[in-house]
Amino acid sequence: MSAYFGVKVEDIFATMPERFRPEGAEGISASYGYNIHGEGKWKLTVKDGKMKIGKADDLSGCATVTTTDGETFVGINLGKVDAMKAFSSGKFKVEGDFGALAKTAKMFRKYIPPQKEMSTREYILDMFATLEKRFQPKKAEGLDVTVGYDIGGEDGGKWTAVIRKGECLLKEGILGTPTVTLKVQSAADWVALMLGKIDALSLLSAGKAAITGEAPLALKLGEIFAPYVPPGEKAKEPEQELIVLRKTISVNQRFATGPVMGKFLNGLKEKKILANQCPQCKRLQLPPREVCAVCRVEATQWVEVGPKGHLAVNEIVYYASPDPLTGETRETPYGSIHVLLDGCKGNETFTHLLRPDQIFKVKETWQEEKGSRLRPVWAERRTGSIHDIKFFELDE
């Protein structure tokens, strides 16, 4: 297992259970496959507000299969790789219902790599390595002193801080007799003291630390040196909280059909497809419109067309737009078609959908002399809506 940005692919998957948000999975029942090159395959199953994640060899039956490499996968999770760029350039591929995968974003809290714990030795070294930087000259005006640090234990060490003329230099070992010496039996205690986990008085009382020399100077050290901040932690500056208001706006509408669309929709109820015709140029309009745009006259004549026809254009849609009225998206891929129904010619095509399992089987007019022959499949219950035709299918 390789690590990318300090994190392994399996860390992302292993932490999914603890990062899971059941409210984001409400109403969802699906499985999602992940194929990470060189790392393995995982399958995530979500059902009834619960989830299951595990390695899997067989990703068939998954709503989506995401294929990518380890670096991209971890990078996107950590926010170090631009997801959109990876997706657009094909480094992150998704087969299946893209809309379904997008929903998984709400199911998990973001992966945050755990803070690496430093060892005592690492802390000691870092604390003294940053001592000079933490020196605050303004608080040491006029001082000409040395401070000895005698930290015991195998992780400890000895240092002397020389403070003179507004400068502080740290030297190894105890030099001469420092103005004040701080002696601590165990390095772990010194670390705890510097991290604010224990106070000096407790150590002194317990005999675990001792001060020799000018004790008052020891008391001033807390002012002379800025507090120690472990690496990776930024000094927190109060940031203005930006408030974002979320609101769904909904105003109910009552759309009129008018006599022209009304006649067309009523026709669908009776399994008839009605076009209206321009009295001047004779073009047919499907669905019908009040006027012929070209001649600018009222289109008054009606012609029944189809119901069968030839496929002119088949648009295979891989990414569905949500329905603005319901928020739902159609399952992808689907075929959005333009059919030239019997009785129509030229550009008088009718827009509708293709039977989902046939979208790769049909041929458009430019591929074959006349394009696949199609027939409408009517809904059993028809209400005077475009969905009275469920879709078109091959007329076999």
Which range of residues in 9-17, 127-135, 160-168, 344-352 is near another protein by CB under 8 A?
A: 344-352
Which range of residues in 28-36, 82-90, 108-116, 196-204 is near another protein by CB under 8 A?
A: 82-90
Q: Which of 340, 354, 362, 374 binds another protein (CB under 8 A)?
A: 340
Q: Which is nearer to another protein, 94 or 188 (CB)?
A: 94
Q: Which is nearer to another protein, 178 or 309 (CB)?
A: 309
Q: Comparing C-alpha atoms, which of 325, 324, 379, 328 is closest to residue 352?
A: 379
DSSP 281-338: T--EESS--SEETTTTEE--EEEEE-SSEEEEEEEEESSPPPPTTT-----SSEEEEE
User: Residue 243 carries which DSSP code?
Assistant: P
Compute the least distance from the CB of residue 288 to another protein, in Å: 10
Q: Comparing C-alpha atoms, which of 358, 364, 343 is closest to residue 396?
A: 358
CA dihedral 132, 133, 136, 137 (to 10 degrees): 60
Which range of residues in 38-46, 79-87, 107-115, 145-153 is near another protein by CB under 8 A?
A: 79-87
Q: Which of 317, 342, 358, 394 binds another protein (CB under 8 A)?
A: 317
Extended strands (E) in 138-208: 144-151, 157-164, 167-172, 180-184
Compute the least distance from the CB of residue 23 to another protein, in Å: 21
Q: Pattern of binders to another protein over 352-381, x per CB under 8 A?
A: xx----------xxx---------------
Q: Which of 315, 331, 368, 395 binds another protein (CB under 8 A)?
A: 315
Query: How far is Cα 130 from Cα 324, in angstroms, rounded to an integer?
Result: 58
**CA distances, 300 to each of 93, 266, 290, 346 (Å):** 51, 17, 8, 20
Q: Which of 312, 354, 362, 374 binds another protein (CB under 8 A)?
A: 312
Q: Tokens 């075929």 appear where?
A: 335
Which residue ranges make up the site for another protein (CB under 8 A)? 84-85, 87-91, 93-94, 98, 242, 244-245, 247, 249, 251-261, 265, 285-287, 289-294, 296, 298, 312-313, 315-325, 327, 336, 338, 340, 345-349, 351-353, 364-366, 385-387
